Each structure stands twice: as C-alpha cells, then as structure tokens.
Amino acid sequence: MCSKVTDSTGPRVDFYLLPGQDPMQRLQFVCRLTEKVFSLGHSVAIRVDEPRQAQFLDQLLWSFRPGSFIPHRVHPQQPDREEPVVVTSGMAPEGFDQVLINLGTEVPEGFEGFQRVAEVLDQNDANKLPGRTRYAHYRDAGYPLETHKL
C-alpha cells in the first residue's frame, strides 16, 4: 500500500498473501499495514465479520508494537469520536473513502466507493477459499488487481 491512492476506474484491489496459518500473524500484518497507510496521511476503514473481532482488533491496534500510535475507533460503538482509522463489522461511516482493509469473508458492501481495497489472506482455508471467491468477483468486475506474496 503506497503513495497513489486514486484511480478513476474504481478501486485498485491489492491481495496480500501471508505464508502461514497463524491468525495473529494476519492481524499483526493488518496493524502494520494500517500504520503505514495512516502514516502516509490516508484514512483507513478495517472491515471485520463480527463486532467481537472489531473489539479484539481495537485492542491490538493499541498494543501491537511498542511506541506505535494509530488513532482509531470502533464503528458504530464510538460514533462521537473523529479518528482517521475506523474498525467496523458493517459499512464504513461516511467520509471514509480512501483505503479499505477487508478481513471479512464476503466482498465488503460499499467497497466501490474506496480508492484502494486491501485483502489480507493467510493459508488457512477459512480465509483462503473465500478470498479466491472475492478475487474472482473483483477480477470479473474489471477492477485493477495486484497480488503481493509475502
């Protein structure tokens, strides 16, 4: 995830393929990616499947690396806070349209309104198989795709 975020043909979709199956490796990578995107001045929405996953990621974003600071909130539980990073199990709130990181199993609703979409997959079949379906969806819809094997 890097400098240019805009594309007039719709979002660019990046697939990050992690080598292992450890769920914490995947979440740690999402925290590092979020930190990098935030440091470049972009807003970030992180989509998860369930509210309890959002709460867990909320805590991890505060503690994943000593000295790291990523101002964020869980949506919609913390609606009054204005932060450049939001974690949600639903649609991202209005105003978030730069970078979407998807940890959910489905194609995220409203992804078309983002400039970039990051799909983070590991080798666990529960993540990998739905990821292939999402890849086919984006490809068949004509979105620009990039794959990063890590």
Render pLDDT for 102-133 as a digit per residue (tens, 0 to 9): 999 999 999 999 999 999 999 999 999 999 99
Look up residue 124 and give its amino acid: N
Note whether 38 and 84 are within 8 A (CB): yes
The Cα 4–Cα 141 span in angstroms is: 22
Give me the pLDDT at residue 80, please: 62
Look up residue 8 and give its amino acid: S
Render pLDDT for 1-57 as a digit per residue (tens, 0 to 9): 443 344 457 899 999 999 999 999 999 999 999 999 999 999 999 999 999 999 999
Q: Could you give the percent of the chain with pLDDT greater than 70?
A: 91
Q: Where residue 76 falls among pLDDT bands split at 50, 70, 90?
A: confident
Predicted TM-score of the model (pTM) = 0.91
In a domain, 116, yes or no: yes
Q: Which domain holds residue 26?
A: 12-149
Q: Which two tokens stand for residue 79?
A: 């609606």
In a domain, 53, yes or no: yes
Instruction: Supply the CATH number for residue 131's domain.
Output: 3.40.50.10110
Give me the pLDDT at residue 79, please: 61
Note whether 143 and 11 are within 8 A (CB): yes
Neighbouring-strand partners of residue 128: none
The pLDDT of 134-145, averaged and rounded, is 97
**Biggest CA-to-CA distance, the chain:** 42
Give the count of domains, the chain. Answer: 1
Q: Which two tokens stand for residue 72?
A: 């964020």
In a domain, 6, yes or no: no
In a domain, 5, yes or no: no
In a domain, 63, yes or no: yes
In a domain, 114, yes or no: yes
In a domain, 45, yes or no: yes
